[in-house]
Structure 1
Amino acid sequence: MYGISPFILILLPLFFQLIFGRKAIAESIPFQFGTISLFSLILQFVLTILAYSVASYNFNESLKGDTFRCGMGVIGIFFFSFLFTLILFIVIIVQYFIKRSYEK
């Protein structure tokens, strides 16, 4: 969609969860694992909306005044968002079981 920035915005919560979730499990940061996971999920939804806005703006700028507009890019943004949300849930579940095994 005329730029990679929307896809980077969709990937940020996953990277955040991987990095800070691991640090929360090792207790090297003051935040708890549940707080990091909740923040990651909220960030995923907020950044999806922001990615849609950026992609829509980029697409409108590329039209240069033409009224034709296709909605397939929007479907792509939401599909990638759904896919990375599922991956985020899987990462959270795996990290939760790792945290539980460390506590035993």
Structure 2
Amino acid sequence: MPILLILLPSLFQMIFGRKAVGEDIKLGFGAICLISFLSQIAVSFIAFFIMAKKLQNDHFVCGLPLLGIVMCSLFFTLCLFIIMIIQYFIKRSYERK
């Protein structure tokens, strides 16, 4: 579940970023990017604490799943930035036409 939680801001950016580029919604592209980035940070912390709470109940405590959550958060944050950059260039090419 924490991995799916970390994936949600990227999905939000793909869906609503495309709509913002096409000007189908009232929110601007910058606002969508800011919402996605801030929610990625918040969701990463929430996923970390969910996994920490889950591991606290186990008898054999190993911190490796927490490191996995941190690395997945960093990976999906990087993916989010790549999605934002691609959508920005698409938006810029639409504005030139």
Distance in 1 between residues matched to 2:53 and 2:26, nearest whole Å: 38
Q: Which residue number in structure 1 is paired with residue 3 of structure 2?
A: 7
Q: For residue 103 of structure 1, give the secondary structure of its aligned residue in structure 2.
A: helix
Matched, 1:52 2:48: yes
Distance in 2 between residues matched to 1:93 and 1:31, nearest whole Å: 18
Q: Which residue number in structure 2 is paired with residue 26 of structure 1?
A: 22
Q: Which residue number in structure 2 is paired with residue 82 of structure 1?
A: 74
Q: For residue 37 of structure 1, give the secondary structure of its aligned residue in structure 2.
A: helix
Q: What's the Cα RMSD here?
A: 0.9
Alignment of 1:56-67 (within 5 A): 56-61=52-57, 63=58, 66=59
Q: Quick one: which amino acid aligns to residue 46 of structure 1? A: A
- Pairwise CA distance, 1:60: 2.3
Matched, 1:41 2:33: no
Following TM superposition, where does structure 1 have runs of at least 4 consecutive aligned residues deviating by more than 6 angstroms? none
Distance in 2 between residues matched to 1:56 and 1:79, nearest whole Å: 15
Q: Quick one: which amino acid aligns to residue 40 of structure 1? A: S
Q: How many residues align?
A: 96
- Pairwise CA distance, 1:69: 1.7
Segments of structure 2 that go 5 or more residues without pairing to the other structure are none
